Amino acid sequence: MINKYPFTNNVIDCLDSGVFVIDKDFTVHLWNDYMAIRCQFTSDDIVGLNLLDCFPNLPRKWFERNIKSVFILKSPAYSSWEQRAYLFKFPHGRSVTGGVDFMYQNCCFTPVFGQDNNVEYICVTIKDVTDIAIATMKLKDTVMELKRINSIDGLTQLYNRSHWEKCFQNEVSRVNRYEHQVSLVMFDMDFFKKINDQYGHLCGDEVLRQVAIRCTESLRLSDVIGRYGGEEFCVFLPETDLNGAAYIAEKLRHIICDTPVYYNSIAVSISASIGFTCSRSSNNNHEKLIHEADTALYAAKNSGRSQCVSFFDCDV
């Protein structure tokens, strides 16, 4: 290569990026210090050799394809860490704080034109983007975790009210659109205040946790349960009619009250009052259905607790 300025090579060695130049046969023509101190090849070692022979771990086909495209199209090709973490497996200084043992890289393949305006060489630059990569990945994890926390009730690990309502709302609009069915079951723990007063709030918490576990285990995968508030829970049952809802409600009532919850070796008897309803053939509204199940739930409370009541059996 003709060198315009005698000090260009020194400048290239000062760069905080990997720079090297190859021709269309992958013969190396330039290799800067940044590259040299990160692998076993100094400039003197590698210039004149075939790059792919020296680095057998390079993604050969990918490399050949991209080099070819630069030569033919005369425009640059790129590689980004988000799709391909690195081209050259270089060590990185953040193995302690970053949790990664290699350098994430953005690479750029730029055409170097000869006098006839054809591509004569390709200049490859390698940028260390490990810090950006680590920060971006942490941010992604954090966003996912925030999304999870935002939709989960911390105590019971069930969906919280706002997230459950959103799911139910979607389900109801799906039901309206495709003329499907959905049932809704809401239940409330009986005499919960008494449990809290008698055994303490930690015991009350344990009761809610146990109820959540028991219900989740006995429900089908498609059923969606949430903690509606305090000691009140809600479940919607996709593709389930009123008879199905009555069966599930009774099943839930049994698994809640048949076995006491043990707290510090004390058996605490629990029960729940349950109300349920079912969607109609059209024009369903999620708030209206919740209100119906709630009405049935209060009817169950008023008729002596620990029982299931259908909204269609309530006097309204």
d(CA 41, CA 57): 15
Which CB sits closer to another protein, 76 or 238? 76
Which CB sits closer to another protein, 139 or 149? 139
Tokens 């086909």 found at:
61
Binding region for another protein (CB under 8 A): 61, 65-66, 68-69, 72-78, 80, 82-84, 106, 108
Least Å from the CB of residue 135 to another protein: 16
Q: Is 287 a catalytic residue?
A: no
Single out the residue of 40, 18, 14, 17 nearest to residue 31, CA to CA.
18
Least Å from the CB of residue 183 to another protein: 30
Beta bridge pairs of residue 238: 182
Which CB sits closer to another protein, 38 or 84? 84
Least Å from the CB of residue 83 to another protein: 4
Token readout for 186 is 């809401």
User: What amino acid is encoded at 66 in this protein?
Assistant: N
- Across 153-188, b (16+ Cβ under 10 Å) vs e yields beebebbbeebbbeebeebbeebbeeeebbbbbbbb
| Identified catalytic residue from 171, 206, 231, 232 | 231
CA angle 62, 68, 70 (to 5 degrees): 105
CA angle 307, 313, 314 (to 5 degrees): 85
d(CA 148, CA 291): 27
CB-based contact 23:121 (threshold 8 Å) = yes
Active site residues: 231
